[in-house]
């Protein structure tokens, strides 16, 4: 049996999920979302992870079911002790998706809900979130720097 000194240290992962239209960051409504592109955001996340000693995996999709599948996968990774949780910017699905609410609860995955813009200072249809009641925490309106804060929060839970 290998002793503790011969065991390799397994760095834990944080999954950063971006939903619909976030692939358009940089050119999409810069007054709301700023000028950083999705690759800029993913670089920022990787840098935050490197500082905190966690591996970062970033994915983006415009499809609700893909987010559901990835949340289920994350739940299995968390249960196996390989993942800390998920930073989730579900975009407009935040305001519509019972399926994402159920996926977070069903997979028992710690989620930090994130919005680049302050959704509460915008249209009334953005004020309700199906994600919030299932999330461990919420970061709203702090721009793309919120992703680094959400990653740090998951390391401290
Ligand atoms: C968003 C806010 C949502 O209301 C919107 O549909 C998005 C982006 C944000 O990051 O501020 O796509 O989640």
Q: What is the pLDDT of residue 64?
A: 98
Is 98 strand, coil or helix? helix
- Chain length of the chain: 157
Q: What are the catalytic residues?
A: 33, 115
pTM higher than 0.85 for the full model?
yes
Band (107; pLDDT cuts 50, 70, 90):
very high
Quote the DSSP letter at residue 57: E
Whether the Cβ atoms of residue 9 and residue 50 lie closer than 8 Å to each other: no
CB-based contact 67:19 (threshold 8 Å): yes
Helix (H, G, I), strand (E, B) or coil at 71: helix
* Each residue's pLDDT tens digit, 18-68: 999 999 999 999 999 999 999 999 999 999 999 999 999 999 999 999 999
Residue ranges of domains in the chain: 13-156
Q: What are 66-102's pLDDT values in tens digits? A: 999 999 999 999 999 999 999 999 999 999 999 999 9
Ligand 1 atom nearest to CA at 118: 11
State whether the beta carbon of 94 lies less than 6 angstroms from ligand 1: yes
The CATH T-level fold of domain 13-156 is Rossmann fold (3.40.50)
């Amino acid at each position: 049996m290998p002793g503790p000194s011969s065991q390799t240290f397994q760095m834990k992962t944080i999954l950063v999920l971006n939903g619909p239209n976030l692939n358009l960051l940089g050119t999409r409504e810069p007054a709301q979302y700023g000028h950083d592109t999705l690759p800029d955001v993913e670089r920022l996340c990787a840098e935050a992870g490197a500082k905190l000693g966690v591996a970062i995996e970033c994915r983006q999709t415009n499809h609700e079911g893909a987010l559901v599948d990835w949340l289920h996968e994350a739940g299995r990774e968390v249960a196996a002790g390989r993942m800390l949780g998920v930073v989730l910017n579900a975009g407009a699905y935040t305001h519509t998706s019972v399926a994402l609410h159920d996926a977070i609860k069903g997979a028992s995955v710690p989620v930090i809900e994130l919005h680049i813009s302050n959704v509460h200072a915008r249209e009334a249809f953005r004020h309700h979130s199906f994600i919030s009641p299932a999330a461990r925490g919420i970061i709203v309106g702090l721009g793309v720097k919120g992703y680094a804060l959400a990653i740090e929060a998951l390391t401290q839970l």
